[in-house]
A = this chain, B = another copy of it.
């Protein structure tokens, strides 16, 4: 199981023979499938699949797989991605002042629950610089004001490009990214501290308390130009009661935030999430 694998994520208009064609492509080249999962969205006539096979014994060299599969995918009008399990992605974590999601991700990375290099930290504050130092991670304090946002985002994008970052994780980064930024760098996961679409925007725990809800939650989603409207990857809730103050909501919510964000990042890094429209298929 620890030998490297290839992972294919594919979506295309539904038609007969898709599973047969894709599976036969792998089999005819000597591949051993270890995971295959598909979903058909009948409303939209869309076929979505994740298929993973061992590279050991596969007759095509790695750099020839994409070309070979492209020939099959083209007549299917398919969108597809090819990944290799031994490619270690590079993550940037963006924070403001709260450390719970950050420390949780760092711990999981060290415990090998998350297979990635955490290469970069960006913050609009200097509060968590010492954490970066302890874990030996490059840290950039990039304060955002009303007037400097465009130039600071340019600096951020430059960093992401230069450090070859594959994924940005907003681990309680309390700034809104511009739609230009998101368009330029779309691989961003955010953790929002409510079960969306309830309480989008600021202060969700305060508002949840005022509304008198009996459950609170957290939502991990891809970031799009519309605030808190991106495709949801994972959600979790926790019960609260009248005995819980806003401070208790925040404390309990932090545990949900940590879990939900960590799960979403792990699913993304294992190439288990396919976005279509504003929705996700999560192959688990």
Q: Which residues of B contact A36 (CB under 8 A)?
A: 19, 36, 38
Q: A1-B42, A197-B198 are in contact. Are A214 and B232 (CB under 8 A)?
A: yes
Q: Is the CB of B27 within 8 A of A20?
A: yes
| Main secondary structure on A side of the interface with B | mixed
Q: Is the CB of A20 within 8 A of B16?
A: no
Interface size grouping (class) on chain A = 35 or more
Asked whether A32 is an interface residue with its Cβ less than 8 Å from the other chain, the reply is yes
Q: A242-B282, A280-B242 are in contact. Are A197 and B215 (CB under 8 A)?
A: no
Q: Which residues of B contact A179 (CB under 8 A)?
A: none
* Nearest CB in chain B: distance from A57 CB, A: 8
Stretch at the interface among A156-164, A185-193, A233-241: A233-241
Q: Is the CB of A16 within 8 A of B31?
A: yes
Looking across the interface, which residue of chain B has its beta carbon closest to that of A110? B99
Asked whether A33 is an interface residue with its Cβ less than 8 Å from the other chain, the reply is yes
* Nearest CB in chain B: distance from A18 CB, A: 8
Instruction: List A residues 182-219 near B (Cβ within 8 Å).
Output: 195-199, 210-215, 217
Asked whether A155 is an interface residue with its Cβ less than 8 Å from the other chain, the reply is no
